[in-house]
Amino acid sequence: MIEPDDELTIGAAFERAAARYGRRPFLAAPANSRRDYHPGGYEISFSAAAAEVARLVEAYHQARYGHGHRVALLLDNRPEHYLHKLALNTLGACCVPINPDYRAAEIAYLLDHSRPDLVVALAGRREQVMQGFAAASHEAPFVAFESFDDGLPPPANGARGGPVRPDTPASILYTSGTTGRPKGCVLSHGYELASGAWYARLGGRAAVRDGDRLYNPLPVYHCNAAVFSLFCMLLTGNCQIQADRFQPQRWWPEVSDTGATIVHYLGVIVPLLLGLPPSDDERRHRVRFGIGAGVEPQLHARFEARFGFPLIEVWGMTEMVRVIADNVEPRQVGTRAFGRAVPTVEVRVVDDADREVPDGEPGELTIRHSAATPRKHFFSGYLDDDAATEHAWRGGWFHTGDTVRRDPDGMLHFVDRKKNIIRRSGENIAAAEVEALLQAHELVRQVAVIAAPDELREEEVFACVVLASGTPDRATAEALFRYCHERLAYYKAPGWILFMDSLPTTGTQKIQKHRLFEPGTDPRKLAGVFDLRALKRRA
């Protein structure tokens, strides 16, 4: 493994990797005849990737792009995204990925907020980007990915002088916006390399070995694929297999055919794979472990028993992706456990006044590197928002916004996002707990639980449900209610259920609760909502 030090930059790390690992595979994509790029699959070695990165470096340099510039990339999940990123970082330029699911207003927000000096996008995305520019005040040159070799328009401003350093911005990644407008997280060269090295050293059931091939179906604008797994593979001389997106029917054939030994998952993937009929592919694979977060407790053991490898639950976020992991046996399968604090990832669980809560009590997870260097290897800050950055770092600890509880032995359990706690008649109800139970019901395809106002009890549990089967009528609503009422404390069962055709999600399939309803909407008054509050009685 290439060990990062306090002077190493991404360009230098990749140069070392190419010299050391040479003909080993670095990036791959599964074959897919229905895809409009690399239908027969793709694989490139470290040495061949280095040659291509050098060519891209020269093209950007000749057009006068360099240190301090920002270049927005909209290349979907093509593996070439990473080659452009490595070239830009080698020059000291910052990569700003664009979510391909963004609409015009969202692209306009990103353009105005990040102010890129150039946009490189697929030709098929040109109209989408132009609509974003039409709604934005920021202007920048545009070049189609397919026409990149024909020459680049120059930047409006010159490059910054001085050497590229570990604290130079490498990426600006936008948070998923599950509770509000996205923030631009500035990630440095040092952060991204430290993230990959951390992954490589996890060990236990998540030990990375020579020859590993990591299948990642998550988007390249997300920290999981673009930083955490990419730099682990780069530093260890292994291969990242970049799928274009998660597709249940393609998962096992792609995992098996590409020889993947590690897979990355999200909680939403697990029930969809369990819902597939048995196939030869699901046991033909070579996977040793999966890494991810959010597997529903009721499905964790079922998945491992059926498919034959452990799902290692981790906790991480864009602001600090040196994950905490439940990777050492005996793991706590089916409990939402995600590991313990370790040196360089110190943890406190606190109340709203930043006082540490007793073990077993829920509180907000706060983290730091150490007392001496609390922010080491964290994100550099929120772009142009020092107030938000300092608020998150109040008291010398980064406030994650996640509610957890800690066992006496230090094991941490995820409870919910802090803003997803429902306060009903003095009882705190984790929306995630109700969601997990409903998600396990055979009639439910997708669910989001939120707080609805209640004149008597302050807040009430409101469930938005997408059915996998069944009829969206009161009988079905009552059946789901009874299912919860029989398995949870009475006050946690949904007081309201609304059946919906779909739920708004991010590109990583996180449900965007703030987009469920238009601002100012009282969901209790919507057509088709079922009021079940009269059924909520103590046993």
Domains of the chain: 425-535 (3.30.300.30)
Q: Which is nearest to 329 in space by CA: 203, 494, 201, 471?
A: 203
- The pLDDT assigned to 177 comes to 47
User: Which pTM was predicted?
Assistant: 0.85
What is 149-192 written as a DSSP string? GG--PPPSSPPPPS---TTSEEEEEE---SSSS--EEEEEHHHH
Residues whose CB is less than 8 angstroms from the CB of residue 102 and which lie 6 or more positions away in sequence, other chains included: 110, 128, 132
Q: Which two tokens stand for residue 88?
A: 């830009």
Residue 416 token pair:
């919910």
pLDDT of residue 381: 97
Nearest Cα neighbor of 377 from 195, 183, 163 is 195
pLDDT, position 106: 84
Own/partner long-range contacts of 354-361 (Cβ < 8 Å, ≥24 apart): 354/394, 354/395, 354/397, 359/405, 359/406, 359/407, 359/408, 360/405, 360/406, 360/407, 360/408, 361/405
pLDDT per residue, tens digit, the chain (539 aa), is 999 998 999 999 999 999 999 999 999 999 999 999 999 999 999 999 999 999 999 999 999 999 999 999 999 999 999 999 999 999 999 999 998 888 888 899 999 999 999 999 999 999 999 999 999 999 999 999 999 999 999 999 999 989 999 999 999 999 754 445 689 999 999 999 999 999 999 999 999 999 999 999 999 999 999 999 999 999 999 999 999 988 999 999 999 999 999 999 988 899 889 999 999 989 999 999 999 998 989 999 999 999 999 999 999 999 998 999 999 999 999 999 999 999 999 999 999 999 999 999 999 999 999 999 999 999 999 999 999 999 999 999 999 999 999 999 999 999 987 778 898 887 878 898 899 899 999 999 999 999 999 988 889 999 999 999 999 999 999 999 999 998 888 889 999 999 999 999 877 778 889 899 998 999 999 999 999 999 998 76
What would the DSSP string read from start to end of 514-530?
GGSS-TT--GGGSTT-E
The pLDDT value given to residue 171: 98
**CA gap 254, 260 in Å, rounded:** 8
Which helix (DSSP H) or strand (DSSP E) does residue 349 occupy? strand 346-350
